[in-house]
Amino acid sequence: MSVFKARRVIDQIRGRSYEETLFILELMPYRASYPILKLVYSAAANASHNMDLNKADLFISKAEANRSTIVKKSRPQARGRSYPIKRPTCHIKIVLKEKPK
């Protein structure tokens, strides 16, 4: 997906708690919200399994989407010509931390 489409969703969840983030992402109408929801699930599972953190105490401390490579394809057009298709991609990074007690 494009970095601009991902940033539109990521700006809404930055700094929020884990449960609130899941609630927001499930109700968002954008197509970019589902891959980001899967990424948040995965980050929380890694935090609970590898670091022994409680999922209820997690919040999103850092979330960013950076530009990546552009996948270039060509599509056939009339009279034997080709039309370039540029498909942008992005890298999404989400960092979860535990709330201070």
The rounded distance, in Å, linking the Cα atoms of 34 and 13 is: 13
58-99: pLDDT as tens digits: 999 999 999 999 999 999 999 999 999 999 999 999 999 998
Q: Which two tokens stand for residue 77?
A: 């057009």
Domain of residue 21 covers 3-98
7-35: pLDDT as tens digits: 999 999 999 999 999 999 999 999 999 99
Q: What predicted TM-score, i.e. pTM, was given to this entire model?
A: 0.87
Q: Which of 84, 57, 51, 89 is nearest to 70 (CA)?
A: 89
CATH number at residue 79: 3.90.470.10
Structurally, the chain folds into a number of domains equal to 1
Q: Which of 38, 40, 24, 20 is nearest to 94 (CA)?
A: 40
Q: Which residue has the tokens 């809404």?
A: 12
Residue 68 φ/ψ, nearest 5 degrees = -125, -160
